[in-house]
């Protein structure tokens, strides 16, 4: 009896492998044939450790939230530390644009020029991109908060249009020193408490899951309200001819680590520090029209802005001994850079 013919069923082709920037949050950090801003890939190890220990969500490996989270983390690394646009692997170069709240969309070149922080923060009484550059912005925020972790909280829709809510958090370990919308140097004393902001992003991606249109909504002023919960800052006039990084570096604004509060009253503490009250930050970036200088006209259906996570500063502080924490631009890449990844979510998210 002849053996029966056995018909082989055609095998299904194996699905294409996912890009490494979807499966590994540190994928682009391993790129070697690229131009890194400070000569080598930055070190994110400390921020990754903070992320692992203090994140709110633990997404299943290979799940959509984890893939989105990895994509954004890799995008932030490239936006912050790859100054040559052709080296970016996470974006669709022909169709990429980025916008915050009601701002006009801009291409990647704009973010490369001004930096991720300056791309997402409108001028206000604490900080202004008009008086800051890439180097000074990183000194302002990285010295204050050495790690700024970022995570996806929820994903509402999948490709090709991905919408998700995110969280960006850290600890204010050193003084905030920046330049505001009047060109004044602003110093807020370190309080050692949490800085925790949230927002929503809607992004389109191509068939390679590269970012195309990226639109983010969040309240940038929420971070500054947490930096100076009582609106207490020191403002100084500065030489307009000084480079922004030199203003941030100047001795009177050197970083001082947070200390434990004493029982001194608020009035006594302020008098001892020579600080005057400053008006609380105003304005909402969700408002229609210009975001500049605290305009607060809200459009119909405007969503309420979440209250800050918690009040992280006590009623008084003692004057700290000045501890200078130098950050040479040539050595900046040695510091954790997460945040920010953008930045800022996209743009500060890390």
The pLDDT tens digits for 275-292 are 333 333 333 333 333 344
Query: Rounded to whole angstroms, what are the CA distances from 44 to 74, 102, 347?
Result: 11, 31, 16
Average pLDDT over residues 1-25: 75
Average pLDDT over residues 118-123: 90
Separation CA 15–CA 78 (nearest Å)? 27
Average pLDDT over residues 46-71: 98
DSSP three-state, residue 84: coil
| Highest-confidence segment of 10-19, 171-180, 329-338 | 171-180
Residues 6 or more apart in contact with residue 126 via CB below 8 angstroms: 176, 178, 180, 186, 188, 224, 227, 228, 233, 281
Separation CA 107–CA 96 (nearest Å)? 6
Residue-level pLDDT at 240: 87
pLDDT in tens, 298-326: 344 444 434 333 333 333 333 333 333 33
Residues 6 or more apart in contact with residue 135 via CB below 8 angstroms: 244, 245, 329, 332
Q: Are strands 185-188 and 234-236 parallel, antiparallel or unpaired?
A: antiparallel
Separation CA 29–CA 336 (nearest Å)? 12
In angstroms, how far is CA 195 from the centroid of its own chain? 11
Residue-level pLDDT at 323: 31
Instruction: Identify which has the larger pLDDT, 320 or 45.
Output: 45
Query: Rounded to whole angstroms, what are the CA distances from 21 to 91, 209, 246?
Result: 11, 9, 36
Predicted confidence band of residue 7 (pLDDT cuts 50, 70, 90): low
Average pLDDT over residues 262-275: 38
The DSSP secondary structure of 147-158, one letter per residue, reads: -EEEEEEEEEE-
Query: Rounded to whole angstroms, what are the CA distances from 114 to 107, 111, 132, 165?
Result: 12, 5, 8, 25
With 0-12 / 13-18 / 19 or more C-beta atoms within 10 angstroms meaning exposed / middle / buried, residue 14 is: exposed
Instruction: For residue 263, give both structure tokens.
Output: 């029982």
Residue-level pLDDT at 281: 34
Predicted confidence band of residue 117 (pLDDT cuts 50, 70, 90): confident
Q: Which residues of 16-46 are buried (b: 16+ CB within 10 A; e: fewer)?
A: eeebebbeebbbbbebeebebbbeebbebee
């Amino acid at each position: 009896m002849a053996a029966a013919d056995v018909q082989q069923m055609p095998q299904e082709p194996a699905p294409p492998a996912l890009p490494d920037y979807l499966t590994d949050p540190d994928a682009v950090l391993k790129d070697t044939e690229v131009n890194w801003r400070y000569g080598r890939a930055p070190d994110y190890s400390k921020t990754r450790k903070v992320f692992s220990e203090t994140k709110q969500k633990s997404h299943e490996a290979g799940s959509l939230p984890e893939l989105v989270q990895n994509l954004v983390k890799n995008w932030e690394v490239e936006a912050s530390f790859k100054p040559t646009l052709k080296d970016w692997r996470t974006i669709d170069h022909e169709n990429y644009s980025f916008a915050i709240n009601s701002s006009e969309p801009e291409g990647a070149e704009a973010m490369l020029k001004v930096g991720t922080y300056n791309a997402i923060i409108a001028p206000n009484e604490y900080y202004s991109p008009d008086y800051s550059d890439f180097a000074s912005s990183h000194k302002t925020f990285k010295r204050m908060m050495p790690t700024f972790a970022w995570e996806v909280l929820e994903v509402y829709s999948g490709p090709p249009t991905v919408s998700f809510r995110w969280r960006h958090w850290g600890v204010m370990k050193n003084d905030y020193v920046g330049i505001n919308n009047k060109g004044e140097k602003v110093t807020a004393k370190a309080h050692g408490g949490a800085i925790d902001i949230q927002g929503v992003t809607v992004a389109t991606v191509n068939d390679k899951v590269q970012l195309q249109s990226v639109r983010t909504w969040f309240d940038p002023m929420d971070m500054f309200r947490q930096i100076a919960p009582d609106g207490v800052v020191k403002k100084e006039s500065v030489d307009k001819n000084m480079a922004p990084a030199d203003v941030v570096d100047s001795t009177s604004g050197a970083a001082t680590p947070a200390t434990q509060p004493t029982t001194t009253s608020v009035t006594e503490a302020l008098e001892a520090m020579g600080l005057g009250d400053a008006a609380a930050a105003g304005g909402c970036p969700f408002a229609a029209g210009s975001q500049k200088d605290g305009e607060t006209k809200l459009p119909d259906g405007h969503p309420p802005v979440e209250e800050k996570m918690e009040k992280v500063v006590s009623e008084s502080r003692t004057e700290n001994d000045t501890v200078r924490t130098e950050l040479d631009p040539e050595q900046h890449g040695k510091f954790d850079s997460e945040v920010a990844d953008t930045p800022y979510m996209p743009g500060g998210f890390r």
